[in-house]
């Protein structure tokens, strides 16, 4: 549904309404309130591709994308949530970025560790902002793939 018949919220998913629970699958109803809010925010942003993210208020973007345990634990958090494929993909991506940065450092004659902080920040940002989206794919869309 794009508009909930019960509470009138628009932009929700075919799975049902995360705001009031109307027509929502039982295992999604049983999610914690935090996850329901995150999923509602992601749904309103147009799903995990976030096509409508720019139309969303800042607080809603934050709810959709921020995940503190993922920020702290990175790939371990993904494993804990059973999203090991995505954990591997993101880890590979971070190694790829690190490799490219090393090549750039070598080309410009910079010390090898010049871009370590760039890689660290890229890694934290990736693992943090992909966590809710990946869990949404898994729980709502039934996709638990590599990306």
Q: Which residues bind Zn ion (CB under 5 A)?
A: 4, 6-7, 9, 17, 19-20, 22
Tokens (6 digits) for 142: 């039934």
Name the minimum Å distance from CB 40 to Zn ion: 9
Nearer of residues 17 and 133 to Zn ion, judged by Cβ: 17
20 or 71, CB closer to Zn ion?
20
Toward Zn ion, which CB reaches closer, 20 or 88?
Answer: 20
Q: Please identify, using beta-carbon distances, which residue of 7 and 104 lies nearer to Zn ion.
A: 7
> Of 8, 40, 20, whose CA–CA distance to 139 is shortest?
40
CB of residue 28 vs Zn ion: minimum separation in angstroms? 13
Cβ 70 to Zn ion shortest distance, Å:
27
Cα separation, 74 vs 87, in Å, equals: 8
Instruction: State how far the Cα of 76 lies from the Cα of 89, in Å rounded to an integer.
Output: 13
Least CB distance from residue 61 to Zn ion, whole Å?
Answer: 21
Angle at 98 between CA 120 and CA 123, to 5 degrees: 30
Residue 44's CB is within 10 A of a number of other CB atoms, namely: 23
Distance CA(36)–CA(88), nearest Å, equals 26
Is residue 37 within 8 Å of residue 43, measured between CB atoms?
Answer: no
Residue closer to Zn ion by CB (options 3, 143) is: 3
Taking the complex as a whole, how short is the minimal distance between the CB of residue 50 and Zn ion, in angstroms? 21
């Amino acid at each position: 549904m794009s508009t909930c018949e019960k509470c009138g919220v628009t932009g929700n998913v075919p799975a049902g309404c995360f705001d009031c629970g109307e027509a929502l699958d039982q295992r999604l109803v049983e999610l914690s309130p935090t996850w329901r809010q995150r999923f509602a925010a992601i749904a309103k942003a147009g799903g995990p591709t976030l096509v409508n993210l720019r139309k969303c208020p800042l607080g809603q973007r934050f709810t959709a994308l921020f995940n503190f345990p993922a920020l702290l634990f990175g790939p371990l958090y993904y494993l804990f949530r059973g999203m090991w494929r995505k954990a591997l993909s993101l880890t590979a991506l971070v190694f790829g970025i690190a490799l490219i940065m090393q090549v750039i450092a070598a080309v410009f004659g910079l010390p090898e560790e010049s871009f370590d902080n760039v890689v660290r920040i890229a890694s934290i940002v990736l693992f943090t902002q992909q966590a809710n989206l990946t869990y949404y794919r898994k729980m709502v869309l039934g996709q638990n793939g590599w990306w």
